[in-house]
Structure 1
Amino acid sequence: MSRTSALLLVALTGCASGHSDPPSNSEATADTHGEIVGAAELAEPALGLTSIDPEGRVFHLDLLDESTAKIGTVRAPEAMHSDGRYLFAADSAGVSIVDSGVWTWDHVDHFHYYRAEAKILGDVDGKGVATVASSNSSTTGGTGLFFPESGEAVLLDTVALSRGDVKELFRLKRQPGAGLVVPAGSLAAVASGGDVTLHTADGEQVGDSVGCVAPEGTITTRVGAVIGCDDGALLIHVEDEKPVIEQMPYPDDATARRATEFSNREGRPGVAALAGTDGIWMLDTRARSWTLIPAPEPLVQVTAVADADTNVLGLTPDGRVLVLDGDSGAVRAASAPLVGDSLAARLPVALIADQQRAYLNGPAEQRLWEIDFVDGARVAREFTTAHTPLHLAEAGR
């Protein structure tokens, strides 16, 4: 094994344990616990809600002092992805990147919190609205983009993003259509054309390909990176110091629709996904097992809190937030209808869970909500916005 390959495997090992050791040329070293030159370390997380309106204007609501600041303007987005620090706003011509300026460094047994200048970082050109995949670290590893019209698979240098630079590590040509580029430590999995391959940061393939028909949906947990496939999911992790792509098939007797969008409280091993109208898929990435639990009523979105009470949050078509038992699907609590107008207008609504609260945007309602899901789905705070919060991210987590 080459020295470069060995370093990549070390980085992937760190990812699987919940902490990615950054490359040696980064200011964000293991010794500095995710610190970036020019950033201030804080005593508590600087949580905020960063949103983008239909014109591309970006706003940040500070959840500590409830002040709102405009960060800048990007192209009008058709989709948005966030890793908890950066926002990746995608349209048919590429991806615009926003740095919210706040982030948390997860050191497994403790955390470090930082604040830096919020700003627009720049654009990555591509054809078609890209799918974006990120890890749980905003200062190490990479961020993956796949452009469906051109079939271009791009890995961005997240270390460079933390310095304010947009840098491509590789851009590979693949078959146009559905695809994903999923970071896993310092490696990246490229899912396209029925196969998944692992690549180093310079684009070199590592090992053999693994089949994955119709790749759709991805998430990174404490255990590794997940890619959804027609017959289940793949888990990319480390075993005996080597990267492994492991298959997690659906149960043999499964008839429910496949999972296409995974969601959870960031980094947790438990993941939730809609199974069409048949229920909710619960994926335990530690046990490599799927469980189908009944949905008490139709849902349009779910996310796993993966806490001690196995809470799962669901969003109904009329805009209510349900708190569900992740083992039985029973309703523990429900909010009043909050985002019914937005859902009726088919506007994007994000239901985001952290350890203590959930957050929800209502573009049509021009409101943001903070929900205490443990306390009867109580609306803890409601924010009226002067702009339309079309896309929402919880920043600083």
Structure 2
Amino acid sequence: MPSRITPAVLVGALSLVLVSCAAPAPTTPSPASTPETGDGHGAIAGAEEVAEPPLGLTTISSEGVVRHLDLLDESVSDLGAVTAPTAMATDGRYLFADSGAGVEVVDSGVWTWDHVDHFHYYRAAPALLGTVEGDGTATVATTNSSTAGGTGLSFADSGDAVLLDTEALSKGEIRESFRLDREPHDGMVVPVGSFALVTEVEGGVATEVVAYTADGGATGLREPCTQPAGTITTRVGAVIGCSDGALLAHVDDGDLVVERIPYPAGTTGAVTGFDNREGRPTVVGLAGSTDIRLLDTRARSWTMLTAPVPLVHVTAVDDDDDTLLALAQDGRMLVLDAATGAMRAETAPLVADSLTAGAAPTLIADQHRAYLSAPAEHRLYEIDYADGARIARTFDTDAEPAFTAETGR
């Protein structure tokens, strides 16, 4: 039975450089970057609404240099520099660069606002917004909105659980909605509407998630989740991986609802990370090099597949053709059938040097293309996965794209 917290209970509880050219871009927030109120379409004062998605690849080098490749005109902009990161997360607009001693926030200045039956597209000045303080590796959890809601950060060494105000980020301001003290651990802070689910520990190991309001008030809702790992937000709700399956959290008529979706009987091992085309209801992850697990958040069901070759990553396109994209251990990108796991197409080993060097490539699923970063090869690939995994464009870079995000989506 789903766990639920109602409003009544709450009241009581409360260097990427193309061989072409590079143009500089502002590294401080535009003073006009304040949200419009009441328009309901994700507009920001000072931003330009454009006719098509302003898609780009925003990268951070191992030294922290941030650059943006505009996929429409192929121009490159230098956005400045952050502390050399060890990891990066994104929501499709912001990049959260983790140095192990705090998370620096980069606003790419391009985003899409999803109105369910249609979309609005915006372009504004990019900016380096500043740092969220914290000790140790940070786990970042985002939503599908870059102008509303929250963004969660969990710091492993200090135990700090932080919820950022995403609307404030759209104004160029880092504002913490709450910061909670916890025992240090590898945990999560997962935003869900006006709530957040925060992992709690027993004996140094996370064993459950606890619900809070956006201002840090405990709601009383607690849900067991042993060894939580991996979180992603879909159109249906926020997914959290647990050792025995997944939790699906969403807001229903103002109530926070948490449902448990267990693995099929006899399943061993667990998914430790999920990926998909942003916002789509189906997500996928690996529980071993050939153990693919798809979670349909609408149907609340798992599909278990066996990969044709050992993999390092997999992502769900969730299109009418039931497409999966995967990165093989030998550096090939594979196009797989999400119903059977069979291979439909493959590329040559595009990122073999990166995998050998331990420079993890990034594989991104888009509606029409895949994007694959090749850090050691100093290259970015655009791949038409529906056309036999054809290489549509190749972008050579002077600096390795150590961390890559598709932005503007």
TM-score, normalising length from structure 2? 0.90
Separation in 2, partners of 1:76, 1:209:
37
**What's the counterpart of residue 386 of structure 1?**
398
The alignment's C-alpha RMSD in Å is: 1.5
**What's the counterpart of residue 87 of structure 1?**
95
3-state DSSP of counterpart to 2:168: helix
Q: Which amino acid aligns with 1:352?
A: I
After superposition, give the CA deviation of every residue in 1:228-265 in whole Å (9 maximum; x if it has no partner): 1111111001345421111111111213x210110000
**What's the counterpart of residue 241 of structure 2?**
228
**Is 2:251 the partner of 1:238?**
yes
Separation in 2, partners of 1:278, 1:331:
13
**What's the counterpart of residue 147 of structure 1?**
155
Separation in 2, partners of 1:180, 1:293:
28
Separation in 2, partners of 1:30, 1:380:
41
**What's the counterpart of residue 260 of structure 2?**
247
Q: After TM superposition, give the deviation of residue 27 of structure 1 in Å.
A: 2.8
* CA distance 1:173–1:87, change in 2 (3 Å): same
**What's the counterpart of residue 284 of structure 1?**
296
Separation in 2, partners of 1:96, 1:46:
23
Separation in 1, partners of 2:193, 2:382:
32
Q: Does the 8 Å CA contact 2:95/2:106 hold for their aligned counterparts?
A: yes
Q: How many residues align?
A: 377
**What's the counterpart of residue 168 of structure 1?**
176
* CA distance 1:28–1:3, change in 2 (3 Å): farther
Separation in 2, partners of 1:387, 1:396:
22
Q: After TM superposition, give the deviation of residue 278 of structure 1 in Å.
A: 4.1
Q: After TM superposition, give the deviation of residue 323 of structure 1 in Å.
A: 0.3
Q: After TM superposition, give the deviation of residue 192 of structure 1 in Å.
A: 2.9
Separation in 2, partners of 1:67, 1:239:
43
Q: 1:320 aligns with which of 315, 332, 345?
A: 332
* CA distance 1:120–1:4, change in 2 (3 Å): farther
Q: After TM superposition, give the deviation of residue 107 of structure 1 in Å.
A: 0.3
Runs ≥4 residues deviating over 2 A: 1-6, 26-32, 238-241
**Is 2:380 the partner of 1:368?**
yes
3-state DSSP of counterpart to 2:311: coil
**What's the counterpart of residue 21 of structure 1?**
none
Q: Which amino acid aligns with 1:80?
A: M
Separation in 1, partners of 2:141, 2:175:
16
Q: Does the 8 Å CA contact 1:261/1:273 hold for their aligned counterparts?
A: yes
Q: After TM superposition, give the deviation of residue 28 of structure 1 in Å.
A: 5.0
Separation in 2, partners of 1:66, 1:3:
53
**What's the counterpart of residue 305 of structure 1?**
317
After superposition, give the CA deviation of every residue in 1:308-361 in whole Å (9 maximum; x if it has no partner): 001000001121110000010000000111111001111121100110001011
Q: Does the 8 Å CA contact 2:150/2:164 hold for their aligned counterparts?
A: yes
After superposition, give the CA deviation of every residue in 1:253-304 in whole Å (9 maximum; x if it has no partner): 213x210110000010101101213420010111111111110010000000
After superposition, give the CA deviation of every residue in 1:29-68 in whole Å (9 maximum; x if it has no partner): 5624000111110000110000000110000000011011
Q: After TM superposition, give the deviation of residue 207 of structure 1 in Å.
A: 3.1
Separation in 2, partners of 1:37, 1:91:
31
After superposition, give the CA deviation of every residue in 1:181-218 in whole Å (9 maximum; x if it has no partner): 01111211112311101111110012321111111100
Q: Which amino acid aligns with 2:389?
A: A
Which sections of structure 2, spanning at least 5 residues, go unmatched?
A: 1-5, 12-33, 202-206
Q: Does the 8 Å CA contact 1:369/1:379 hold for their aligned counterparts?
A: yes
**What's the counterpart of residue 60 of structure 1?**
68
**Is 2:186 the partner of 1:178?**
yes
3-state DSSP of counterpart to 1:161: helix
Q: 2:53 aligns with which of 41, 45, 57?
A: 45
* CA distance 1:115–1:77, change in 2 (3 Å): same
3-state DSSP of counterpart to 2:398: coil
Which protein has greater RCO, CA pairs closer than 8 Å, 6+ apart?
2
**What's the counterpart of residue 20 of structure 1?**
none
Q: Does the 8 Å CA contact 1:233/1:247 hold for their aligned counterparts?
A: yes
Separation in 1, partners of 2:179, 2:253:
30
**What's the counterpart of residue 12 of structure 1?**
none
**Is 2:269 the partner of 1:261?**
no
Separation in 1, partners of 2:125, 2:254:
38
3-state DSSP of counterpart to 1:300: strand
**What's the counterpart of residue 19 of structure 1?**
none
* CA distance 1:230–1:2, change in 2 (3 Å): closer
Separation in 1, partners of 2:37, 2:237:
21
Separation in 1, partners of 2:350, 2:40:
42
Separation in 2, partners of 1:260, 1:282:
13
**What's the counterpart of residue 356 of structure 2?**
344
Identity %: 60
Q: Which amino acid aligns with 1:311?
A: T
Q: 1:110 aligns with which of 114, 118, 124?
A: 118
Separation in 2, partners of 1:305, 1:277:
20
Separation in 2, partners of 1:259, 1:28:
40
Q: 2:208 aligns with which of 195, 201, 220?
A: 195
* CA distance 1:315–1:124, change in 2 (3 Å): same
After superposition, give the CA deviation of every residue in 1:116-148 in whole Å (9 maximum; x if it has no partner): 001111001100010001000000001000000
**What's the counterpart of residue 18 of structure 1?**
none
